[in-house]
């Protein structure tokens, strides 16, 4: 089998309830069903998660490195844009 012909998939794993799915890596597979099986074998054999998403890498539209300045500038000179002055109650674990 020629692996170069196999599409690439990105794997996202949610490690526990209340947390978001996090990107853990990528793998090759024939289709999403097989990618799901391999995700289990490659990334989930040590109780790493409770939920998995697989996404065809080609379906992801990514931002461009060259656009960073105009596109992702955090505008640090406008502090009112940042929600840093609020105190979170202790019960809110993951925000």
Q: Rule CB under 8 A: is residue 24 a binding residue for other proteins? A: no
To other proteins, the closest distance from the beta carbon of 22 in angstroms equals 20
- Torsion sign over Cα 32, 43, 11, 15: positive
Nearer to other proteins, 47 or 64 (CB): 47
Q: Rule CB under 8 A: is residue 48 a binding residue for other proteins? A: no
Q: Rule CB under 8 A: is residue 30 a binding residue for other proteins? A: yes
The answer to whether 24 and 52 are in contact (CB under 8 A) is: no
Q: Rule CB under 8 A: is residue 46 a binding residue for other proteins? A: no
Question: CA geometry: angle at 33 spanning 27 and 35, to 5°?
Answer: 5
């Amino acid at each position: 089998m020629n692996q170069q012909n196999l599409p690439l998939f990105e794997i996202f794993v949610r490690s526990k309830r209340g947390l978001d799915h996090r990107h853990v890596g990528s793998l090759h597979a024939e289709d999403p069903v097989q990618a799901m099986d391999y995700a289990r074998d490659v990334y989930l054999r040590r109780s790493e998660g409770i939920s998995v998403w697989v996404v065809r890498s080609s379906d992801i539209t990514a931002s461009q490195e060259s656009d960073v300045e105009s596109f992702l500038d955090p505008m640090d000179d406008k502090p009112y844009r940042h929600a840093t002055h609020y105190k979170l109650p202790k019960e809110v674990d993951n925000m």
